[in-house]
Structure 1
Amino acid sequence: MPTLWEPLRPVPHPRRLLFVAPHVGSGAAAARDLAHHLPDDWAVHGLVLPGRERRFAEPPAWTFEDTVVSATLALEEVAVRYPGTPLVGLGQCSGAWLMYAILARAASDLRSRRDLMVAVSQGAWHLPRVHPDLPDSSEAMWAQMVASGDVPRSVADDEDARDLLEPVIRSDYAAVADFPTEADPLDLPILVVVGAGDRDIDRSVAHSWVRYGTGLEIEEVAAGHFPLRDDPVAVARAIVAQVDPATSS
């Protein structure tokens, strides 16, 4: 099976490992710009879900539990190559719930190495979910995706892109609809990053994470609903400031 964690920036002897779970309809590449703006000695890996990137040949359907189990095992295989190296987990939008569950499930010998959980543009488990049902009609689905800002008009107007992405998006929405609505707290701090222009996730929503970690910090950046795309520099700066303030600027 192709690797579940795409190395976005391999580092032979990293000082820190960052693992990123993407948002609905996306892939590991969503974190590529972020990787470029982190310190040179950070190794960055992005989660590859079925039906895209290295796993393009696989059926796009997936479930939360199966993905958490397989992604956790794969993360452990990566982390064991770098004994003692601290790790950070980040998830954008629905990827935040995936990354949280992966960190929670990680083997006991990795738990002391977890530095931080980063939730980008997502509220905590118990809040109402913001993903609406997708229409059966392909045209209506793409119109909804464009109107919500989740997909650029250029993608929706590209027939080849639509043929490739529609099964992935539908599978992702179906998976998210069955995500758990509660979770035990993590024994590590949580950083929540929100976009100043996000219509759905603001500071009050970000504060919903307060009961899920040992501490909560909220960072607002000049972005919409996708800060990894809109302002990766600010996101990188916020992460480094939390775990390595001596090197942040």
Structure 2
Amino acid sequence: MSHPAETWVRPFRLTPMPRLRLVCFPHAGGSASFFAAWKERLPADIDLLAMQYPGREDRFNETPLTGMAPLAEGAALALREFADAPLVLFGHSLGAALAYETALQLEHAGLSPHHLFVSALPAPHLQRGGELHRGDEAALLDDIRRQGGASELLEDADLRALFLPILRADYQVIETYRRARPVALACPVDVLLGDRDEEASSDEAQGWDLAGRQRATLKRFPGGHFYLVGQRTAVIEHLLCRLGHAETLFREIA
């Protein structure tokens, strides 16, 4: 049986003595490779890890999980192996909720993350829910097109047939996820949001205040739900500024 760290974590950069380890959690239908290019924009002493959920890429033969709890349990168990350096968690959309739930589990194990960044998602107690995971294929695909995600996968019938079960499972995870009230983390919580994102309003995003012991900082970027594709450099620079490393660590790639 594979070790949890080998199964769940894709290390795009691992160094002997990192200052921080940035751990990225993909969106619904997303995979670890979505964040691979981030290493080119990070300083050399910040490691880059991304979570690989069951059912995609090199975990294609595994059944996708349909609940937040087992996803968070798997991710937290795997990340214990990397907690010898400060962990900074970044999650986008579904990945934001999963990063938060993983942070709670790590904190409970005495391995509190250094910082949590959540992107493009209402706070846990303000989740909108939904029934798209129960509906037909057309409605699910229309929702993905509306958000501007994974369009290349939708146009090829064979790829679409492989992609849809993963997408439906991920939608079930986020559409059935909600907390009556968030548990406040010890680490700082930052919120990132596209200024034209229809999936989370400013009020819903600011609701993440309750997920930390201090008021969450909200930063808006130009764009919709997948704003971070076009704003990658600005997003990474913002993360580094918030972590206090921008002046000495950030390097622009020409």
TM-score (norm 1): 0.88
1:198 equivalent in structure 2: 197
CA RMSD of aligned residues (A): 2.1
Change (3 A) 1:233 1:98: same
2:80 equivalent in structure 1: 76
Please give the per-residue CA displacement for 1:37-71, whole angstroms capped at 9, x wherever unaligned: 22221111111111102211111234211121121
Picking from 166, 171, 186, the partner of 2:169 is 171
Question: Matched residues, percent identical?
Answer: 27
Please give the per-residue CA displacement for 1:54-110, whole angstroms capped at 9, x wherever unaligned: 21111123421112112111000122xxx3x22101110121111111111115442
Change (3 A) 1:189 1:12: same
Picking from 155, 158, 161, the partner of 1:160 is 158
Opposite residue 238 of structure 2, the aligned amino acid is A
How many Å separate the matches in 2 of 1:130 and 1:190? 23
Contact 2:183/2:210 (<8 A) preserved: no
Contact 1:97/1:125 (<8 A) preserved: yes
1:35 equivalent in structure 2: 39
Contact 1:121/1:201 (<8 A) preserved: yes
User: Displacement of 1:130 after TM fit?
Assistant: 5.8
1:232 equivalent in structure 2: 232
How many Å separate the matches in 1 of 2:218 and 2:143? 30
Please give the per-residue CA displacement for 1:182-214, whole angstroms capped at 9, x wherever unaligned: 431101111111112322324333211112212
2:128 equivalent in structure 1: 129
In the TM superposition, 1:1-249 aligns within 5 A as: 1=2, 2-79=6-83, 83=84, 85-106=85-106, 108-111=109-112, 114-129=113-128, 132-134=131-133, 136-152=135-151, 154-181=152-179, 182-213=181-212, 214-245=214-245, 246-247=247-248
Opposite residue 203 of structure 1, the aligned amino acid is S
How many Å separate the matches in 2 of 1:132 and 1:121? 19
- Moved beyond 3 Å, runs of 4+: 134-137
User: What SS class does the counterpart of residue 89 from structure 2 fall into?
Assistant: strand
Change (3 A) 1:177 1:144: closer
Opposite residue 144 of structure 1, the aligned amino acid is D
What stretches of structure 2 of length at least 5 have no aligned partner? none
Change (3 A) 1:134 1:180: closer
TM-score (norm 2): 0.86
Please give the per-residue CA displacement for 1:156-205, whole angstroms capped at 9, x wherever unaligned: 11112201110100111122233232431101111111112322324333
How many Å separate the matches in 2 of 1:16 and 1:103? 15
Change (3 A) 1:171 1:10: same
How many Å separate the matches in 1 of 2:13 and 2:173? 28
How many Å separate the matches in 1 of 2:135 and 2:109? 44
Change (3 A) 1:141 1:97: closer
What stretches of structure 1 of length at least 5 have no aligned partner? none
